[in-house]
Structure 1
Amino acid sequence: MNDFINELQLKIERQENEINFKNGLISILSHDSKELFGTFLWLIEELEQKTISEEDFFKLLPQIKRDARKNLQTIQDSVAWLKTQYGEFNIKPVKIMVLDLFHYLEEKYAAKLKEKNIKFHFKGDHNAFLTSDRLLLEYVLDKIFNNAVKYSLPGQDVYLQELTEGDQVVLSVIDFGTGINEKYLPVIYTYDNPVFLGTAGEKGVGLSLKIVKNFISLLNGNIQIISTENKGTTVSLFLHKFIE
């Protein structure tokens, strides 16, 4: 009887988390879209009524561009998550060399790494592998690595570290950047966490980490974030070496 009650409580908790996640996602999309289009419409109307000069209008365009890029990223993240929720989405496990994941990030972020003069290193077994869903795992590492670059200072190092323990593979993205104050760690996956600016003024709504946690759950894995303000952050993924 107790086992049945515990199982029921777990199901209720999972459903509540899923409902909160969806409500938060809708709230973010609604708020950001209204904010962006409202600001843009206001600027156009002000320009038409000549209450703002063309010079001031063009001065504000870089901010509009940054906001539009942020909204586009939010939409792309949402679409990635929606693909896992509707239709016939199934985990598709394939053999993935960990070093290939390193090269994937190295190539995708080549321009940003060069711009900030950040050195990206691999630490671990060059022959290590795991079977996982490539789409979900690459998305997860992409978002974690993006944060590592965003919150690193020019000239710092970032690592992708692999550690295989029996049938578990631990992948860690390690940076030595701005870190996170420990008081914010408990709410990092909620919709109450503050917006942090990157070392080059990059801005995000924090939606990616929420989807990352959701995707890791789909892969039957776990995520751990260890961070110290002004010393850096280590995000570790605990994954099964083999999944079915």
Structure 2
Amino acid sequence: MSTVLPMPANEMERLKALSDLDIDYSSLNDNLKSLSKLAAKIAGTDISMVNLIDSLTQWTIANHGLDIDQMNREDSVCQYTIVEKEGFEVPDLLADERFKEKFYVTGYPKVRYYYGVPLRADNGIHLGALCVLDTQTRNLTPEKVEMLKIIADEIVNRLKALSVIDNLRSQISEVTENQRRVAHDIRGPLGGIIGLARIISEQGNENTMDEVLEFINLIQKSGYSILELADEILTVDKINLQKDNILGSDEFNQVALKEKLLKLYVPQAINKKVKFEVITNSNTQAIPFLKNKLLQIAGNLISNAIKFTPAGGHVTVNLGIDIEATGHILQIKVEDSGVGISPEKIALILKGEGETTNGTSGEQGFGFGLALVKHLVDNLKGTMQITSEPGKGTAFMISLPQAANKR
């Protein structure tokens, strides 16, 4: 008899709150590892982890005592913590029917004890959990539990602060770059105008009318060039920045996004024995585009594709950019050789609705991941298309317009 997995009553709102942070799950360890270590020291346990939980995956964004980056949500203990108000304890995992056969109990590191505290956002939504684990049973005092809750609150505060800092950094970077470009580009035309005016002044009555008109014509041209530079500043200098391959803190290009997706999702593919690759378009792969929600959008599609693709199959991500006069269109296509989706389910997904389904290896899913993707794509004024043939695979095509004033 299969275990019914826990599900927060506000799961869709929870996933939206997690996506609002727009977190890169692979970049937070340095900022949070000290808090994770402190939690272990307070609890007196061998291991502690800071976990965020999306629709299919538990992401370990900081840890102490156990080197792990991710696991299937259905295998985690923290999935039970996020449905609790205060905390969740398992005195002996080996004696608990829900966990006694999990790989971290039967194999390395042979965990026996677990205590988890929800990572609670301001609106009461649980983003994940701070947990402490040990290879022997423990008994945490109420004082230690309260201290773990304080650490969990600090973790959430730090996540929010990092999100704000990233946003401010991107704004400061853009302002600084614009200032540099203004100072450099306007100096030339202004110098020309000043020089021509000096010649007219120094020569005085010696200037013929034709010479004066020629000088005025040159001054007028320099003035127009300043106006043109002002327009360029408002729209950003695309050519120079592409040539220099400079990425702002709020930007990816196809190469950078490919690198990030491989780092995050190759472990899932290897675990499932599925071939996973990301392909870029060589003609447009250096063009920058906004990071905004891309890891959440692409990640949910990739995790879902891996889930529904049997061992020996493949999942391929194709990245590209359509260049248009009004702005670039980022294209993300995720294809798999999995079980496919029926027309009825495709219709539900495109309505932003989802339902529980099981993967090819029995993984449980809750249907919220694809609904979240639809929500995010709609908010970014993009489109999502789905083509599928039952038994042969599915392709998701995401098109996201990039603002015309982005380079």
TM beyond 0.5: yes
Separation in 2 of the partners of 1:211 and 1:202?
19
Residues 135 and 163 (structure 1 numbering): CA distance in 2 closer, same or farther, change over 3 Å? closer
- Contact (CA 8 Å) 2:321, 2:331: kept in 1 or not? yes
Q: How does 1:45-194 map to 2 (within 5 A)?
A: 58-61=96-99, 75-76=126-127, 94-126=250-282, 127-129=284-286, 131-166=288-323, 167-189=328-350, 193-194=354-355
Of Structure 1 and Structure 2, which has the larger fraction of its residues in helix? 1
Residues 62 and 36 (structure 1 numbering): CA distance in 2 closer, same or farther, change over 3 Å? farther
Post-superposition offset of 1:60: 3.1
SS in 1 for 2:355: coil
Unaligned 5+ runs, structure 1: 1-22, 45-53, 66-70
Separation in 1 of the partners of 2:278 and 2:356?
29
Separation in 1 of the partners of 2:291 and 2:82?
35
Counterpart residue type for residue 295 of structure 2? E
Separation in 2 of the partners of 1:191 and 1:223?
11
- Contact (CA 8 Å) 1:95, 1:129: kept in 2 or not? no
Residue by residue over 1:186-218, the C-alpha shift from the partner in whole angstroms, topping out at 9 and shown as x without a partner, is 112557643111112222222222222222223
Larger radius of gyration: 2
SS in 2 for 1:109: helix
- Which stretch shows the higher mean deviation, 209-218 or 187-196? 187-196
SS in 2 for 1:61: coil
Residues 210 and 141 (structure 1 numbering): CA distance in 2 closer, same or farther, change over 3 Å? same
Which residue of structure 2 aligns with residue 213 of structure 1? 374
Separation in 2 of the partners of 1:134 and 1:191?
22
- Which stretch shows the higher mean deviation, 220-229 or 142-151? 220-229
SS in 1 for 2:297: helix
Residues 204 and 133 (structure 1 numbering): CA distance in 2 closer, same or farther, change over 3 Å? farther
TM-score (norm 2): 0.40
Counterpart residue type for residue 274 of structure 2? I
Name the structure, 1 or 2, with higher relative contact order (CA <8 Å, separation 6+): 1
Which residue of structure 2 aligns with residue 230 of structure 1? 391
Among residues 6, 12, 32, which one is paired with 1:25 in the alignment?
Answer: 12
Which residue of structure 2 aligns with residue 19 of structure 1? none
Number of equivalences = 199
Separation in 2 of the partners of 1:164 and 1:191?
25
Which residue of structure 2 aligns with residue 201 of structure 1? 362
- Contact (CA 8 Å) 2:352, 2:375: kept in 1 or not? no
Separation in 2 of the partners of 1:202 and 1:25?
19
Counterpart residue type for residue 97 of structure 1? N
- Contact (CA 8 Å) 1:132, 1:243: kept in 2 or not? no
- Contact (CA 8 Å) 1:224, 1:236: kept in 2 or not? yes
- Contact (CA 8 Å) 2:315, 2:336: kept in 1 or not? yes
SS in 1 for 2:96: helix
SS in 2 for 1:203: coil
Residues 232 and 211 (structure 1 numbering): CA distance in 2 closer, same or farther, change over 3 Å? same
Residue by residue over 1:61-84, the C-alpha shift from the partner in whole angstroms, topping out at 9 and shown as x without a partner, is 36999xxxxx99x9549x9xxx8x
Separation in 1 of the partners of 2:278 and 2:308?
19
